[in-house]
């Protein structure tokens, strides 16, 4: 019996020794804790973001990972609710031991999660939400954003409207946007940039529906009554789709120029409306399937389509960019646990992305932690090359990255309506 017991102990010890390298190998993982909405009007953004992030992770891991580490994405439906997202973020840090917080579509959620990031000194890579507050008033050392913020979009929008006054006379302007930080930031920033660039205008209306509002009819009738030459929209995602579908029977877009320079030109709109989407709308987004016309962008779009069977919304490219940024930072630092070194690696990082036109490479501003990118604004026109869409953007106007940055030290609270 003693001999048998001795053999058992030896075998157990050997099992531990054999298993040890496996345990060690399993620990060589870069854990990324993502928060994306997976249901409701914002759900397509979450689905696309997760698919794009996993696509980037697969590409990196297939090449051996980063410095011996494999990347791993954990995602939880944040339900676009700040309080719930905060609980998830804390769980990621305390229980899952993630190296990075990642993602987020809603700016309200982003503003909540950045506080968790700051308190726990955990890097948060923002891939979609656009409120400028996160890289201005609320900026903190551990937050980085890899997609344009609303200031950049509104600065490009103001430049577009300035050029438009040279070819089409317009004077009056109105705004409709969601009644929270993202919507209000856009409107304040657009007015600020119109003044900054010397664009004469008269505001004739402001309309503030709640996020995910089901019915925009009352707003449509108010806009028709106010008769703006330009209607600027800060709506996004399914809200843009719903508004355009509800406003079309009222012939609103025949009476005013619909202008949405931040998120209105998302592919989701084109795919959801098909041939019903009016032509002549002026829109933009943070990524376009048909611009820039580069090999890198075509390859990215085709790979996403092959993987998912659908064309990507702009949110996907932000998530793709976020994974590339993490990999590049860890590659430079050598391990994912040296947070302070990773912060330094991300500051000023240059990163070539699908949305970059030839001759330009995106980079992260070391002071604000905001990515700096070119912006293109287009016009809806017939194009059936990306089904089920029957309209895509064309007739592009392109604005240089440095021309649409905020002045140094810019803060939203300096321009908010008192």
pLDDT single digits (tens) 208-253: 999 999 999 999 999 999 999 999 999 999 999 999 999 999 999 9
3-state helix, strand, coil in the chain (%, to 5): 45, 20, 35
Burial of 203 (0-12, 13-18, 19+ CB in 10 A): middle
Alpha carbon distance 212, 229 (integer Å) = 26
Place of tokens 């298993």: 19
Vertex 47 angle, CA 44 and 315, to 5°: 70
pLDDT at residue 417, as a whole number: 55
Nearest to 105 by CA among 324, 376, 319, 374: 319
Alpha carbon distance 387, 120 (integer Å) = 44
- Which helix (DSSP H) or strand (DSSP E) does residue 182 occupy? helix 181-196
* Cross-strand pairs, 304: none
Assign 239 to helix, strand or coil.
helix
Contact 399, 375 (CB under 8 A): yes
Q: Quickly state the pLDDT bin for 22 (edges 50, 70, 90).
A: very low
Alpha carbon distance 141, 368 (integer Å) = 9
- Which helix (DSSP H) or strand (DSSP E) does residue 345 occupy? helix 339-346
pLDDT at 6 over 80: no
Which domains are assigned to the chain? 25-149+293-372 (3.40.50.2300), 151-291+375-414 (3.40.50.2300)
pLDDT at residue 70, as a whole number: 98
Contact 322, 101 (CB under 8 A): no
Beta-carbon count within 10 A of 337 CB: 12
Q: Quickly state the pLDDT bin for 17 (edges 50, 70, 90).
A: very low
- Please give the full DSSP string across 123-152, using - where no structure is assigned: -EEE-S---GGGGTTT--TTEEE-S--HHH
Please, what is the average pLDDT of the chain? 93
Question: Residues near 119 by Cβ (< 8 Å), separated by ≥ 6?
Answer: none
pLDDT tens, position by position, 365-400:
999 999 999 999 999 999 999 999 999 999 999 999
Q: Which pTM value belongs to this model?
A: 0.91
Beta-carbon count within 10 A of 306 CB: 9
Q: How far is CA 209 from CA 88, 214, 240, 333, in A?
A: 28, 9, 12, 46
Q: What is the DSSP code (8-state) at residue 212?
A: T
Beta-carbon count within 10 A of 5 CB: 9
Is the previous residue joined to 388 through a cis bond, with omega within 30 degrees of 0? yes
pLDDT at residue 326, as a whole number: 98
Alpha carbon distance 166, 162 (integer Å) = 7
Sign of the dihedral through C-alpha 46, 262, 56, 330: negative
pLDDT at residue 227, as a whole number: 97
Share of the chain above pLDDT 70, in %: 93
pLDDT at 34 over 80: yes
**Order of strands, sheet of 172-176, starting from the edge strand that comes earlier in the sequence:** 202-207, 172-176, 230-233, 257-260, 282-283, 375-382, 391-399
HSE-CB of 226 using CA atoms within 13 angstroms: 22
């Amino acid at each position: 019996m003693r001999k048998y017991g001795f053999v058992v102990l030896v075998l157990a010890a050997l099992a531990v020794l054999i298993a040890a390298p496996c345990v060690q190998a399993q620990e060589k993982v870069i854990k990324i804790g993502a928060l994306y909405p997976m249901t409701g009007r914002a759900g397509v953004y979450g689905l696309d973001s997760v698919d794009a992030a996993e696509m980037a992770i697969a590409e990196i891991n297939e090449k051996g990972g980063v410095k011996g580490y494999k990347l791993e994405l954990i995602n939880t439906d944040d339900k676009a609710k700040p309080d719930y997202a905060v609980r998830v973020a804390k769980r990621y840090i305390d229980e899952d031991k993630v190296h990075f917080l990642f993602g987020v579509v809603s700016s309200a959620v982003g503003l909540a999660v950045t506080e968790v990031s700051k308190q726990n000194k955990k890097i948060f890579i923002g891939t979609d939400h656009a409120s400028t507050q996160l890289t201005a008033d609320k900026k903190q050392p551990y937050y980085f954003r890899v997609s344009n913020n609303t200031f950049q979009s509104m600065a490009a929008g103001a430049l577009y409207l300035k050029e438009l006054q040279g070819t089409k006379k317009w004077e009056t302007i109105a705004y409709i946007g969601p009644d929270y930080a993202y919507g209000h930031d856009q409107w304040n920033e657009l007015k600020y940039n119109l003044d900054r660039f010397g664009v004469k205008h008269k505001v004739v209306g402001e309309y503030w529906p709640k996020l995910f509002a089901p019915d925009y009819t009352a707003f449509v009738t108010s806009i028709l009554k106010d008769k703006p030459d330009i209607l600027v929209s800060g709506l996004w995602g399914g809200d843009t789709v719903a508004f355009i579908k509800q406003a079309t029977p009222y012939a609103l877009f025949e009476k005013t120029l619909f202008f949405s320079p931040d998120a209105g030109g998302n592919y989701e709109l084109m795919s959801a409306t098909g041939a019903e989407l009016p032509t002549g709308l002026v829109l933009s987004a943070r990524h376009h399937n048909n611009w820039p016309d580069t090999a890198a962008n075509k390859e990215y779009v085709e790979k996403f389509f092959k993987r998912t069977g659908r064309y990507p919304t702009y949110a996907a490219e932000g998530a793709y960019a976020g994974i590339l940024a993490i990999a590049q930072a860890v590659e430079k630092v050598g391990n994912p646990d040296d947070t302070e070194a990773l912060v330094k690696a991300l500051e000023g990082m240059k990163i070539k992305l699908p949305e970059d036109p030839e001759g330009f490479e995106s980079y992260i501003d070391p002071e604000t932690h905001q990515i700096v990118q070119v912006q293109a604004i287009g016009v809806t026109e017939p194009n059936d090359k990306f089904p089920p869409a029957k309209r895509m953007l064309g007739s592009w106007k392109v604005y240089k990255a440095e021309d649409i940055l905020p002045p140094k030290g810019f803060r939203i609270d300096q321009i908010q309506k008192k």
